[in-house]
Amino acid sequence: MGPDSEAVKKCVSVHWFRHGLRLHDNPALLESLKNADEFYAVFVFDGQVAEDVFPKLFQEWGVTRLTFEQDPEPVWQDRDNKVKALCKELEVECIEKVSHTLWDPLNIIQANGGSPPLTYAMFCQVTEIVGLPPRACPDPDFTGVKLPSSVHGDAKFHVPTCEELGVYPESDRQSHPLSGYSGGECRALELLELRIEKERQAFERGQCLPNQINPDLTGLPMSLSPHLRFGSLSVRHFYWLIHRTFMEVTQSETVPTSITGQLIWREYFYCMSVNNPKYNCMEGNPICLDIDWYRNMEQFEKWSKGQTGYPWIDACMRQLREEGWIHHVCRQSVACFLTRGDLWIDWQMGLEVFDRYLVDADWSVCAGNWMWVSSSAFEKVLQCPRCVCPVRYGRRMDPKGDYVRRYVPELQNMPLLYLFEPWKAPAAVQETAGCVVGRDYPPPMVDHKQASKMCMAKMEKIKGKCRGMRLCLLFTASVGGRPEYNAKCSYRVFGSVVNVCTFISRLVSMQITGADP
């Protein structure tokens, strides 16, 4: 083996795109391009078969290096471990970098003594110890790197259409939505610019964005959550741009955490799901309270299809099915209505619907929010003194009724006075509006006042049981200094029910207050 044979060994890099569908702030992609002679970008449509796909590609292209962004969620760990083992076996260098989240969730867990912080408040304390997240890294430079596909793509490398993948619209409104999202990094960066301008104006007025107080429900689709979910926008870029804007406007050196609070909620839910493959379930999930929810299919179908008879709830559910996105206030309303507010139906059934339709459906974030709204975990566990009233809350969020009229066209001509409770309109008003309740639009499926009272009583009963368990739990509570340690220890000793109950009994006995996500 002379020096010549060493010199011919080319560096052939593959960057495996999964989340992180972007060029900017992509540290794994930068590693891929370092000293690369040839570069291939790969996306595997069925992520689970990655370990079958790579051996063929490695051989065909003579690959020497594989890079990818860390996917922190446990659902992907098995797949990634298999691919890492494969690289080791085939002597392919494997590089994984963190950039889907602000911090590496494993660092947070380590800083918290080996277990994830069980409340958002604790999480914020731990991040203060860990320090500010890393800044975004520079853009990639492809100079001198050979790319295999032509500029316009060719038959071998073209992106398949939805039809080729066997994905078809479910309804006409789905094929022609009133308002829809476009994907891609360019669009994400355009939206970010608009978003930052709005943030700047709010800072100049001495405010944060009043997103949940006066939500713009019929405006253009501007949300960045689909882009954060797929990684066409870097969360670190977003975070640091908000920081910079705040500092420019206020000339301040310190930035309050509240201005990036929503991004921190995202981190929190990610961190909580690491090492918890049952995070999206009730059974076997050590942080989730076991509640005897109903599984009433008839009622569930009405909720899911936007046929509850409550126009605010129906508008939200119909927008979700038709457009794949709804505002946070809508998500909270429909999730509360389905679970602890009115129907007492299992949050996992709601999660399935959200996972199916949301364009930003995110394994950790979606399940975390469902547990939160249903009072099944975190600070929120059994803390539900109030629930969303589908009439009053709807009126507050949609004061002119434009949103309800857009998504529930049956009520187009219903006077605003009755729009959120059309069953109260006199028969003549219903006839004139062309919407008779029971004929053109369903009557309310439950009486909210009664249903919410029943749900509240059920929650109180569960709370009582948890209080009753406190004596036996004192043992576990004395094991360590912090609740999360106690929970961990009790989990080993008594099993998951006690694990959660230790935590709950502490929360029930304290008066927990704090911000909602």
Ligand X SMILES: Cc1cc2nc3c(=O)[nH]c(=O)nc-3n(C[C@H](O)[C@H](O)[C@H](O)COP(=O)(O)OP(=O)(O)OC[C@H]3O[C@@H](n4cnc5c(N)ncnc54)[C@H](O)[C@@H]3O)c2cc1C
Give the residue numbers of the binding site for FAD.
262-269, 360-362
Closest CA to 355 of 371, 337, 343, 367: 367
Contact criterion met (CB below 8 Å) for 444 and 343 = no
According to DSSP, the residues that pair with 17 across neighbouring strands are 43
**Judged by CB under 6 A, does residue 335 bind ligand X?**
yes
Question: Cα-flanking dihedrals φ and ψ of residue 214, to 5°?
Answer: -120, 70
Cα–Cα dist 337/170, whole Å: 25
**Closest separation between CB of residue 361 and ligand X, Å?**
5
Sign of CA dihedral 373, 379, 381, 385: negative
**Judged by CB under 6 A, does residue 310 bind ligand X?**
no
Cα–Cα dist 183/214, whole Å: 26
Contact criterion met (CB below 8 Å) for 267 and 101 = yes
Closest CA to 85 of 77, 453, 486: 77
User: What are the C-alpha distances in Å from 296 to residues 315, 317, 445?
Assistant: 22, 18, 13
With CB under 6 A as the contact rule, the residue among 16, 123, 239, 269 that binds ligand X is 269
The arrangement of strands across the sheet holding 65-69 comes to: 38-43, 12-17, 65-69, 93-97
**Judged by CB under 6 A, does residue 441 bind ligand X?**
no
**Closest separation between CB of residue 268 and ligand X, Å?**
7
Nearer of residues 215 and 480 to ligand X, judged by Cβ: 215
Nearer of residues 217 and 445 to ligand X, judged by Cβ: 217
Closest CA to 72 of 271, 341, 319: 271
CB atoms within 10 A of CB 461: 11
Nearer of residues 81 and 179 to ligand X, judged by Cβ: 179
Nearer of residues 87 and 271 to ligand X, judged by Cβ: 271
**Closest separation between CB of residue 386 and ligand X, Å?**
15
Nearer of residues 372 and 503 to ligand X, judged by Cβ: 372
Cα–Cα dist 16/29, whole Å: 9
Q: Which amino acid does the sequence have at 1? A: M
**Judged by CB under 6 A, does residue 323 bind ligand X?**
no
**Closest separation between CB of residue 373 and ligand X, Å?**
5
Write the DSSP symbol of residue 437: B
**Closest separation between CB of residue 236 and ligand X, Å?**
13
Nearer of residues 82 and 328 to ligand X, judged by Cβ: 328
**Closest separation between CB of residue 330 and ligand X, Å?**
8
Contact criterion met (CB below 8 Å) for 100 and 69 = yes
Nearer of residues 266 and 448 to ligand X, judged by Cβ: 266
CB atoms within 10 A of CB 373: 27
Size of the site for ligand X (CB under 6 A): 27
**Closest separation between CB of residue 332 and ligand X, Å?**
5
Nearer of residues 360 and 398 to ligand X, judged by Cβ: 360
From residue 227 to residue 266, the character string flagging contacts with ligand X as x (rule: CB under 6 A) and all else as - is: -xx--------------------------------xx-xx
Question: Cα-flanking dihedrals φ and ψ of residue 395, to 5°?
Answer: -60, -40
Piece in contact with ligand X (CB under 6 A), picked from 15-23, 287-295, 324-332, 445-453: 324-332
Contact criterion met (CB below 8 Å) for 348 and 373 = no
From residue 67 to residue 106, the character string flagging contacts with ligand X as x (rule: CB under 6 A) and all else as - is: ----------------------------------------
**Contacts for 218-223: CB closer than 8 Å, 24+ residues apart:** 218/402, 218/403, 218/406, 220/179, 221/179, 221/180, 221/181, 221/323, 221/325, 222/191, 222/194, 222/195, 223/181, 223/191, 223/325, 223/360
Nearer of residues 132 and 194 to ligand X, judged by Cβ: 194
**Closest separation between CB of residue 442 and ligand X, Å?**
23
User: What are the C-alpha distances in Å from 401 to residues 101, 217, 331, 415?
Assistant: 38, 10, 18, 9
Subset of 337-356 contacting ligand X (CB under 6 A) = 354
**Closest separation between CB of residue 180 and ligand X, Å?**
15
From residue 353 to residue 392, the character string flagging contacts with ligand X as x (rule: CB under 6 A) and all else as - is: -x---x-xxx--xx--xx--x-------------------
**Judged by CB under 6 A, does residue 328 bind ligand X?**
yes
Nearer of residues 263 and 411 to ligand X, judged by Cβ: 263
From residue 210 to residue 229, the character string flagging contacts with ligand X as x (rule: CB under 6 A) and all else as - is: -x-----------xxx--xx
**Closest separation between CB of residue 451 and ligand X, Å?**
19
Q: In the complex, which residues of this chain contact ligand X (CB under 6 A)?
A: 211, 223-225, 228-229, 262-263, 265-266, 269, 327-328, 331-332, 335, 354, 358, 360-362, 365-366, 369-370, 373, 517
